[in-house]
Amino acid sequence: MVTVDRAESAWRRWLPRAWSLALALLLLGPALGRGYVLSYDMVWVPDLALRGDFLGLASGLPRAVPSDAVVSVLDGLVPGAVLQKLVLLGCLVPGGIGAARLAPGDSLVGRLVAVSVYQWNPFVVERLLIGHWPVLLGYAVLPWVVVGARRWRTEASMPGALCLLVPLGSLSASAGVATAVVLLAFALARHRTRSNVTVLALVVAANAPWLVSGLLHASAASTDAAGADAFALNRDGALPGPVAALGLGGIWNTEVDLPSRDGVLAWLSLAFLLVLAIAGARAWIRRTGRRDAVAFGACWAVGYLLAVLTWLAPDLMGWLVVQVPGAGLFRDGARALVLCAPLLVSVVAQGAAEVWRRAPRAAVARTSLAAAIVVLPITLLPDAALGLSGRLRPATFPSAYQQAREVVSDQQRRDGDEAGDLLVLPLTSYRQPGWNHDHKVLDPMGRFLTPDYVASDRLVVSGVDLAGEDPRLVEVSRALAGSTPEARSRSLADLGIGVVVVEHDAPGDSPEVAGETLLDTTQLTVIRVAEPVPRTVPGGWIAGMTLAWVLYLAALLVGVVRISRAGLTARRRAGAKAMSG
Amino acid sequence: MGSILSTFGALVIGGIVASATVIGVVNAQTSPHGASPANVNQPIIQYGSTN
């Protein structure tokens, strides 16, 4: 009997994990194949070289700090293509399994529904397609942060795992803010000053790289007010923005909406969530307790209100992003919906458990109904399957990219600190190369090569031109407006540019620049600019960023030490128990 | 009688959801969804659209 109970217990424990993995494999499908998935802002290359800009010392705002630095360290251990697949799975599976922890523990159906809802929804699909993988990693970490932070508050002892999870959930600025909000909402406790200070210290350490870099750039960088309108919460197919947001949909870019969201399925999907949420609300409040219910509710309210504010008052948001440093973080309204996910999934899972409790007694009928509830999120968003119906497909970089990397790296080796930075032309942000299945992607050239680089950060949304944020780019544009190739080359050298790569298959103008041609192929030309003046980074910036990285690494180190200690203690206890038994 | 009806209803719901899932996923894979190729003569590739 004991064996049967154990077997059943193991089965109940493993089924949500297996379901989560199965859903991730179904969702990603061909994206897990050989090559690199390059989609909008998702840019992965074979070997991302670590450089000063990735550490937060670039001239523009830290848009990919610390994610680029972390990837460039990790892909020294694992090939870039494999690392990307692991990260894509990591964006989904841990989130699903963690979501099951927010469901009623005694309801297998509730836990399976939590996995389905957390992994298979418009937020995940839209962010995958637009390539915001650090946001999705933060999303995957959130349920575990909820669980860990609750433990921290109730047991007055910091779980070591949080020291790894919070930095992992803070690989981008917006993900870091969301992770911090959830941690603070669940971990802060009254009359526990020491514990609260530690919570705040963890938040600061985990977010230090982008936070310090952002502060260092605050005076020089600017954000275009028009971006607030362009990136506001938007309709999700058939659903108006604020309605779509209830089901975690409503990204600004309609290009990444799936066709199934245009019809009745979008409404049915929302109805499914709302019916289960209503069915589970009362029992959820009883199970969760007042303190945690307030934390869940506060996170949901902050996320939903921020998202709807961008839809309701884009002009106000536009004013805020210009006037208030850091407010630009919130201009992508739907990104804030990540904060709504823990409450949504927890209440919906409770609703599924309540429906299951009232299900007919016959085993076949109960199984049939359970399967229906668990699978319904997939039924209502069917085109998310198999790499979002083929929209996420790996590509192989042309050989010219590798050739360019070799000549540029050789040049860097020869010239050392005098090599100068890289300029990528034409000065346009996005590419849509045939070798990437004609899918849009942020120009991967800068990341593929090894030096610090200057590339356009100007965005065009629905025909509206949004100014870039990098002041160095303004100077480079001015240099490129010079009257002769020689004059342009001299001006670029004065700005620290030592190499220019011209991509011939990219739309946009590329003014001729004088210099030694290092490589010339049908796809690209690499030109060496003579005598670049090395760009100087203020000493204060280097000191500030060093401190930020020390804090970030210290948080990780504390996590590793605490987890190792906890593991050792558990093994000793198990050993002592076995001896006494 | 009630329990027979609810059992039957649950089976029907399960069957419908299972069939709809398979049909939906298969249909989505066979629908055209290719991106239009870029034109090097166009001045810029848009990040996205809000329309």
Q: What tens digit of pLDDT does each residue of A420-442 get?
A: 999 999 999 999 999 999 999 99
Q: Tell me which chain B residue has its CA closest to the CA of residue A432.
A: B38
SS3 state at A423: strand
d(CA A236, CA A330): 19
* B18·A372 Cβ contact <8 A: yes
ipTM > 0.85 (yes/no): yes
A129-147 pLDDT, tens per residue?
999 999 999 999 999 999 9
Specify whether the CB–CB gap between B45 and A431 falls below 8 A: yes
Q: Which of B3, B29, B50 sits opposite A462 (nearest CB)?
A: B50
Q: Tell whether A117 is within 8 A of chain B (Cβ).
A: no
> Which single residue is written with the structure tokens 């499914």?
A272
Q: Tell me which chain A residue has its CA closest to the CA of residue B12.
A: A368
SS3 state at A39: strand
d(CA A248, CA A28): 19
Q: Tell me which chain A residue has its CA closest to the CA of residue B38.
A: A432
What is the number of other CB atoms lying within 10 angstroms of the CB of residue A193? 9
Confidence class for position A42, pLDDT limits 50, 70, 90: very high
- Asked whether the bond before A426 is cis by omega within 30 degrees of 0, the reply is yes
Q: Which of B8, B35, B49 sits opposite A254 (nearest CB)?
A: B49
Q: How far is B31 from chain A (nearest CA, A)?
A: 9
- Asked whether the bond before A66 is cis by omega within 30 degrees of 0, the reply is yes
Residue A370 is encoded by which pair of tokens? 């359970």
* B37·A362 Cβ contact <8 A: no
Specify whether the CB–CB gap between A163 and A288 falls below 8 A: no
Q: Tell whether A390 is within 8 A of chain B (Cβ).
A: yes
In eight-state DSSP terms, residue A481 is T
* B37·A461 Cβ contact <8 A: no
d(CA A246, CA A461): 25
* B33·A390 Cβ contact <8 A: yes
Check residue B41 and give its pLDDT: 61
Cβ within 8 Å of B, A 10-39: none
A445-479 pLDDT, tens per residue?
999 999 999 999 999 999 999 988 889 999 999 99
- DSSP H stretches of helix in B1-51: 2-30
Distance (Å) of CA A43 to CA A395, A398, B25: 11, 15, 28
d(CA A362, CA B2): 12
Taking alpha carbons only, the member of A357, A353, A386 closest to residue A27 is A386
The torsion of the CA quartet A155, A156, A159, A164, rounded to 10 degrees, works out to 140
Distance (Å) of CA A461 to CA A358, A430, A440, B46: 49, 12, 13, 6
A43-55 pLDDT, tens per residue?
999 999 999 999 9
A563-572 pLDDT, tens per residue?
999 888 888 8
pLDDT at A553 over 90: yes
